[in-house]
Chain A
Amino acid sequence: MSAKSKVLEILSSWGFPVIEESESSVVLRFQMNYVSIGSMRDDSNFVSVTLSGIFHADNDEETFLALRGANDLAYRQMIVKAYLDSDLDLVIAVEFFYPEEEHLEGLLEMALKAVVHGKKTFLDTYRSLEAQQKLLREAEEE
């Protein structure tokens, strides 16, 4: 069975509707977040789970703080990676291989939970960095 067919079967067993579907990816809601499961090809046991639409950097300072937040997330949380894409939107991703089909459901659930946890961690870190930056700016002004 292809990775996508197996993923669709798992989502159906969880009762999760698919919102969008393309040849190699699907979009669904997980704990109210819009999550994409992609990179699914017939000839590989590879799946990527990505969460975006969380944060967009509007200027150089926000870009700098977001990169620090993404770095902090990559350092603290195993499996998860975070980056700013070419439009300066934050992407949180977990990519994994599954050796056998029976491993996919558990790995998929772990990946979905991990990107959602990564979102929370990133936003907490970003707020903290933003507060530090504000204090530094106030100190410099004095």
Chain B
Amino acid sequence: MNKELTLQNLRTLGFRPVPTDSDEDLYEFEFEGLDVLMPVNPDDNCVTFLLSRVYDVNDDNRVETMEILLKLISSLKYVQASLFQDTVVLTYTHYLGDSETTPELIEHMLNLLSVAFVRLYSYINGTDDNEC
């Protein structure tokens, strides 16, 4: 992935990505109240956006949450939901091959992550009406 091009595309869409550490291998930006992370590895020919720590899991809600995650990933294309260090993580990775990121691709990925986030909470709160 061309890091500079992807950062430029993010700015075109009105985001202000900032590196989370001096290595600059992980960027963070705000999207309508959500903190989106973007790992950067120039050797990878894919682009990944993720929402971390979107829901905390403990021994009391672990089984229920895993059932919800299964329901979520079966109802949504592209986005993956997983448990990592007792929190739910939503991830969308796109294989780029020989191509590069575009604003349209990034917009699609972020919209899907946002839909996944809303749907996750509708399942958790029991307010699912198939509308996101």
Contacts and interface: CB of A to CB of B under 8 A. Distances in A.
Contacts of B16: 14-15
Interface string B37-71: 00000000000000000000000000000000000
Contacts, number: 38
B35 interface: no
B107 interface: yes
B33 interface: yes
Nearest to B30: A31
Interface string A9-39: 0000011110000000000111111010000
A15 B103 CA distance: 14
Interface in A27-67: 28-33, 35
Contact of A30 (B14, B33, B131): B14
A76 interface: no
Give chain B's interface residue range (CB within 8 Å of chain A).
10 to 19
Nearest to A117: B33
Interface of A is mostly: mixed
Interface of B: 8, 11-16, 30-33, 107, 110-111, 131
30 contacts: A14-B11, A14-B16, A15-B8, A15-B16, A16-B11, A16-B12, A16-B14, A17-B11, A17-B12, A28-B14, A29-B12, A29-B13, A29-B14, A30-B14, A31-B13, A31-B15, A31-B31, A31-B32, A32-B13, A32-B14, A32-B31, A32-B107, A32-B111, A33-B14, A35-B14, A113-B30, A116-B32, A117-B32, A117-B33, A119-B32
